[in-house]
Structure 1
Amino acid sequence: MDDNFREGLRAGGSLILPTFAGGFSFGVLAQPVMGSIAPVLMSFIVFSGAAQFAALTVLVTGGGALAAIAAGMLLNARWLPMGLAIGPFLKGGPVQRSIESVAIVDSSFALASRGDGTFDRERLIGSTLPQFAAWGSGTLAGVVLGPVLGDPQALGLDAMFPAFFAFLLFGELRDRVRLSAAAGGAAIAFLLMPFTPAGVPVVAAACAALIGLKHTRTTAAT
């Protein structure tokens, strides 16, 4: 086994507990809205906490499936510049690289960076595997145990929505462009809430993330 792959496994292993907790919360909250199968499939196929919580938020607030999908896709727009940055360091042809690119998540992208604009493929994959297993199994546990535990609000799990996005935002506050995108998204949602159907403000606010798309691509490539 490659040393860098083992390093990635160890680094990803340190994130198992919080990743499992996030997946568990998603499962508990999503089960009453999406049923028992869809949340688990979503976690194993989409594997993106930001997109999944955004889609669930739209559904909870009364938005439709298309609005939920749009919100998730807009939040996942960051994968484009990250994929362009790390793509040359993956192996094989377009199909194999596409499969390996599933390993790109925020923490693994950072762990795979060598700090000089290059990336370590083995460390990327190694660090993602424990997180993938923890997120999926956490969602499954949440779906199964949610009905037993009772009302998510009584457990305080409904606070995961604002807490999750506040955590994501906190890490971006040091960047002026991303802070501008966050402020723009908040302003869009605030202005649209009194006049538009449920779910629309979330989708429209997510469009503000596109403000930082070019900046993110430049940052990832340098």
Structure 2
Amino acid sequence: METRCTRTRNEAAPRLRSEVARGIVGALPVLAAVIAYGLVLGAQAVQKGLHFLEVPLMTGSNYAGGSEFAAIGLWASPPPVLLIVGITFLINSRHLLMGAVLTPFIRHLPRWKALSVLFFMSDESWALGYADTLRRAGTGQRPPFSLGFYVGCAGVIYLGWLGSTTLGAAIGPHLGDVEAYGFDMAFPAVFLVIVAGMWKGYVAALPWLVSLAVAVLIFLLVPGAWFVVAGTAAGLGTAYCRAKPR
């Protein structure tokens, strides 16, 4: 029995390493964009008055780029803590939907592994992991969710984000207005790439389109970050109505 278990572990290790390597390679196309807007965030943070060490502490523990940009934009002395917390919650509310989509595929994992998957979930790692899960499910591979692939892509994106924000904090005081270099365009560009990679036609994209339309409308009419919650709720409602048996 012991020999059989050892042999099983020895066979599983190369497969895991192969999947991790596949995840790293899969994340490389978006890594450049992550590094670009990580540099912008780190530079803006120290220019707003954050200490060099506070930047990696924030980006490594919160790990949500959109809300971190919002927090830095609102930063003052003293900082409006309640406002920053509220805006962070509103912007990160999309992760509720993203986590709910992944949950059926990671339900079989031990709790600590499932929680780790959700902690290291960013827009990029979620899109890569979910697309790979759908592909594996379509070809009959079991389990559909490859933990090794996810570890590879999520790990390299996390390290890229942490490293680039730290580097941005180090060189930010010497750069001046970092937006003048155009790095901030990487943020919307990577989202366009994600959407293009998951595009399956207008019918399948109806929840996205409704979510976009509602978010834009609320953004124009209501101050604050309520457009994030409104867009998320509209997309969820549309998806639910389409999936509901008639």
Q: Do the structures match in fold with TM over 0.5? A: yes
What is the match of residue 146 of structure 2? 120
Question: 2:117 & 2:105 partners in 1: Cα distance?
Answer: 10
Question: 1:58 & 1:80 partners in 2: Cα distance?
Answer: 24
Residue-by-residue CA offset, 1:180-205 (whole Å, 9 max, x unaligned):
2322332234xxxxxxxxxxx32344
Listed as ranges, the gaps of 5+ residues in structure 2 are: 1-13, 139-143, 197-201
Give the TM-score taking structure 1 as reference length: 0.75
Kindly report which structure 2 residues correspond to 1:132-171, keeping only aligned pairs within 5 A, or say none: 132-149=158-175, 151-152=176-177, 156=180, 160=184, 164=187, 168=191, 171=195
2:116 counterpart of 1:99: yes
2:60 pairs with one of 44, 62, 65: 44
Residue-by-residue CA offset, 1:16-46 (whole Å, 9 max, x unaligned):
2221111110001111224123322111112
2:228 counterpart of 1:202: no
Question: 1:52 & 1:31 partners in 2: Cα distance?
Answer: 13
Question: 1:95 & 1:33 partners in 2: Cα distance?
Answer: 36
Question: 1:204 & 1:147 partners in 2: Cα distance?
Answer: 33
What is the match of residue 141 of structure 2? none
Question: 2:237 & 2:71 partners in 1: Cα distance?
Answer: 25
Residues 169 and 177 of structure 1, relative CA distance in 2, 3 Å threshold: farther
Residue 159 of structure 1: how far off its partner (Å): 7.7
Question: 2:234 & 2:219 partners in 1: Cα distance?
Answer: 15
Amino acid corresponding to residue 21 of structure 1 in structure 2? A
Question: 1:50 & 1:216 partners in 2: Cα distance?
Answer: 24
Residue-by-residue CA offset, 1:79-109 (whole Å, 9 max, x unaligned):
1122122234335443332123222222222
Question: 1:42 & 1:217 partners in 2: Cα distance?
Answer: 34
Question: 1:41 & 1:202 partners in 2: Cα distance?
Answer: 26
Question: 1:107 & 1:22 partners in 2: Cα distance?
Answer: 13
Residue 209 of structure 1: how far off its partner (Å): 3.3
Amino acid corresponding to residue 203 of structure 1 in structure 2? A
2:128 counterpart of 1:111: yes
Kindly report which structure 2 residues correspond to 1:67-78, keeping only aligned pairs within 5 A, or say none: 67-78=83-94
Listed as ranges, the gaps of 5+ residues in structure 1 are: 190-200
2:120 counterpart of 1:87: no
Amino acid corresponding to residue 103 of structure 2 in structure 1? G
Percent of matched pairs sharing the same residue:
21
Kindly report which structure 2 residues correspond to 1:20-31, keeping only aligned pairs within 5 A, or say none: 20-31=35-46
Aligned length: 205
Q: Is the 8 A contact 2:37 2:183 kept in 1?
A: no
Residue 14 of structure 1: how far off its partner (Å): 3.0
Q: Is the 8 A contact 2:33 2:187 kept in 1?
A: no
Give the TM-score taking structure 2 as reference length: 0.69
Amino acid corresponding to residue 99 of structure 1 in structure 2? S
Question: 2:57 & 2:80 partners in 1: Cα distance?
Answer: 19
Question: 1:82 & 1:217 partners in 2: Cα distance?
Answer: 13
